[in-house]
Amino acid sequence: MGLVENLVLVFVAGLMTALATGLGALPFFVVDDFSDRWNVALWGVASGIMVSASLFGLVNEGLAYSEGLPTLMVAGLLVGVVLVEVSDWLLDRIDVSGRTDDHPEETDESNAGVDPEHAHDEHALEVEAFAEGDLKKLVLILGILTVHSFPEGVAVGVSFAELGLEGGVGVLGFSVPVLAVFMTVAISIHNVPEGLAISIPMRAMGLSNWRMVGAAVFSSLPQPIGAVIAFAFVRWAQEFLPFGFGFAAGAMVYLVVTEFVPEALETGADLPGEGRRELLVGALAGAAAMVPLLAV
């Protein structure tokens, strides 16, 4: 298969992860509310899958491609952490809603229904933009989301580095690396609670079910782009492949520690034990689902 066909396949895989985010809104087609216990468990499953896939998949591959000391892979790990920190910093600094940090008390009708504690969260801003139908604001938010969602796309892209080589899984005439299959599934599952987190406030504001699905998918649109860029880079510069694996693993694990787990505990604050049991059970279930990676 040629390069164009490979890029198309990687893009489709990234697009599948983005579309999976819309699954987070589907429960609201049949129920009016979604249990915090199940929400916390979903975050746990996503956390377990991402950490396992990163350590047993991406890090193992990075070590396999390293010669001598894994300097490039370690550098990638650190850069992945830095990127997550930079994206969080941007989300704190960039305000597309018209508010400023100097006047936090200033609000308007468009902010109604959005938790003020998350005024600068990208999902809260996205909810506002979809509620208002503000195209300009949505374009600005997409730029922010590009930075925030890029690591997930990179994880998918680098996992396809061995696309076309022997030993892969046959998919539509392609020999797809087993790691790529696992990473695509892992990112997709991770995106489900992301979609649910976006849909809950939109439900409270009375937005339609399909609008919630659209907003959820919109939040992950940068992922197929990131996947294609990462794949093209590691295929063009094979010597930097350990860096790519390390970058994706570092960003993924750091996202789990700084975002997934805090989000789960915040959601389960009113549950017995503050949701820690549900989070742990979910994480163990997610890790168990990735056990086959140990055999890769």
Among 194, 107, 190, 99, CA closest to 145: 194
130-188 pLDDT tens trace: 666 555 656 665 555 666 677 788 889 888 887 766 656 676 677 788 888 888 888 88
Q: How do residues 43-80 score in pLDDT, each as one tens digit?
A: 888 888 888 888 888 888 888 888 878 888 999 999 98
- Domain ranges across the chain: 3-99+110-295
* pLDDT, mean of residues 274-293: 83
Q: What's the pLDDT score for residue 109?
A: 39
pLDDT digits (tens, 9 = 90+) for 187-201: 888 788 778 777 777
Degrees, nearest 5: CA angle 258-184-2: 130
Provide the b/e sequence for 268-296 (b: ≥16 CB within 10 Å): beebeebbbbbbbebbeebbebbeebeee
- Which residue, among 159, 153, 154, has the nearest Cα to 223 in the 3D structure? 153
Of 44-58, 77-91, 94-108, 231-245, the range with the lowest mean pLDDT is: 94-108
Number of residues in the chain: 296
How much is the pTM? 0.74
Identify the residue with better confidence: 73 or 120.
73
Residue 145 has a pLDDT of: 60
Averaged pLDDT of the chain: 76
Q: Which of 17-21, 30-34, 111-115 has the lowest mean pLDDT?
A: 111-115
